[in-house]
Amino acid sequence: MIEQTNFGSMPDGSQVTQFCLTNRLGVSVEILDLGGIIRRWLIPNHKQNHTDIVLGYDTVDEYLADDSYLGALVGRYANRIKHGKFSLAGKDYQTDINQGGNCLHGGGQGFNSKVWQCTVLSNSDNPSIMLELTSPDSDQGFPGQISVKVIYTLTEQNRLKIEYFATTDQTTLYNPTNHSYFNLAGHSSGSVANQQIQLLASHYTPTDENAIPTGEISVVDNTPFDFRTPTTINVPLASKHQQIEYANGLDHNLCLDAYTADLKSASYVGKAVAKQSGIELEVYTNMPGIQIFTANHFSNKKGKEDSLYQAHQGVCFETQFYPDTPNQPNFPSATLEAGKDFYSVTEYQVSF
Largest CA distance in the chain: 60
Distance between CA 194 and CA 332 in Å, rounded? 33
CA-based nearest residue to 346, from 115, 57, 112, 36: 36
What are the residue numbers of the active site? Answer: 179, 318
Residue 68 interacting with ligand GAL (CB under 6 A): yes
CA-based nearest residue to 114, from 143, 146, 82: 146
Which listed residue (54, 193, 211, 250) binds ligand GAL by CB under 6 A?
A: 211
Q: Which of positions 243-282 make contact with ligand GAL (CB under 6 A)?
A: 251
Which listed residue (7, 41, 69, 182) binds ligand GAL by CB under 6 A?
A: 69
> 63-97: buried (b, 16+ CB within 10 Å) or exposed (e) per residue?
beebebbbbbbbbbbbbbbbebbbebeeeebebbb
Least distance to ligand GAL, CB of residue 104, Å = 6
Q: Are 78 and 337 in contact (CB under 8 A)?
A: no
Least distance to ligand GAL, CB of residue 237, Å = 15
Least distance to ligand GAL, CB of residue 235, Å = 20
Q: Which is nearer to ligand GAL, 143 or 206 (CB)?
A: 206
CA-based nearest residue to 188, from 111, 68, 301, 333: 301
Least distance to ligand GAL, CB of residue 207, Å = 9
Which listed residue (135, 291, 307, 313) binds ligand GAL by CB under 6 A?
A: 291
Q: Which is nearer to ligand GAL, 253 or 307 (CB)?
A: 253
Which residue sits closest to ligand GAL, CB atoms considered?
68
Q: Which is nearer to ligand GAL, 69 or 116 (CB)?
A: 69
Tell me the residue length of the chain: 352
Least distance to ligand GAL, CB of residue 56, Å = 14
CA–CA distances in Å: residue 156 to residues 130, 298, 341, 348: 18, 34, 29, 13
Which listed residue (30, 139, 226, 318) binds ligand GAL by CB under 6 A?
A: 318
Q: Which is nearer to ligand GAL, 19 or 57 (CB)?
A: 57
Q: Which stretch binds ligand GAL (CB under 6 A): 61-69, 235-243, 324-332, 333-341?
A: 61-69
Distance between CA 347 and CA 268 in Å, rounded? 9
Q: What amino acid occupies position 136?
A: P
Residue 20 interacting with ligand GAL (CB under 6 A): no
Q: Which of positions 96-155 make contact with ligand GAL (CB under 6 A)?
A: 104
Least distance to ligand GAL, CB of residue 251, Å = 5
Distance between CA 86 and CA 227 in Å, rounded? 32
Helix (H) or strand (E) holding 315: strand 315-320
Which listed residue (293, 309, 342, 348) binds ligand GAL by CB under 6 A?
A: 293
Instruction: Kindly list the residues in this chain that would bind ligand GAL in the complex (CB under 6 A).
Output: 67-69, 104, 211, 251, 291, 293, 318
